[in-house]
Amino acid sequence: MNRKAELRQMLFSDKRLMRILSLAREANLPNWYIGAGLIRNYVWDFLHGWPQRTPIRDVDFIYYSPDAIDEVRVRAMLAKKMPKIDWDLKNSAFVHAWYANKGIVRPALKSSEEDIDGWPETASCVGVRLQADDELLIYVPYEVDDLLNMVFRRNKNNQYSVNEEVFRKRVIDKKIKERWPKVKIIYD
């Protein structure tokens, strides 16, 4: 079995995750993905054999549309069906504006995939979509090895927000070693 198939099988086995993906599909947003910490945490909980999953802090739910989307309607639908979830809904077409508010000049992105390419850590650079045929589309720009081998390293392709100091802070804030003792943290 290839590594992506191994990941796919792992993801299919979690009912809560599949419910989240099913609800995200109902939102019917263009070029959408659920990803980042939710997927990473689930996989590392699974690989550690934890009977209890890490509590969901938020669900990174991205999509790409150069046109305005009624996010208020989408958020209301998501909140009604899964009220205990904090849906972090973002349009990747406007990420550059979010960075501009932080004083960082970044070119506009051309897709959700390009957004995922720049997420802070390589093990978190994964997006999952439940397609109409109930198959999982998995986007991983740096393969799945860091995720499945439990390696936490800075995504050096993200020059806009993740320098070494920010990465070290994220390791502490996310309690990586406390939650998943088998994870190998690579500092540079």
**In terms of C-beta density within 10 A (0-12 exposed, 13-18 middle, 19 or more buried), how is residue 72 classed?**
exposed
pLDDT of residue 20: 97
pLDDT of residue 107: 86
Residue ranges of the chain with per-residue pLDDT less than 50:
none
Contact between residue 158 and residue 144 where contact means Cβ atoms under 8 Å apart: no
pLDDT of residue 160: 67
Own/partner pairs for 48-57, CB < 8 Å, 24+ apart?
48/180, 48/181, 48/182, 53/14, 53/16, 54/179, 56/85, 56/86, 57/86
pLDDT of residue 98: 79
pLDDT of residue 106: 82
User: Can you give the pTM of this predicted structure?
Assistant: 0.93
Task: Kindly calculate the radius of gyration of the chain based on its CA atoms and give it in whole angstroms.
Answer: 16
> What 3-state class would DSSP assign to 177?
helix
Order of strands across the sheet that contains 136-139: 87-91, 59-63, 33-35, 127-130, 136-139
Percent of the chain with pLDDT over 90: 80
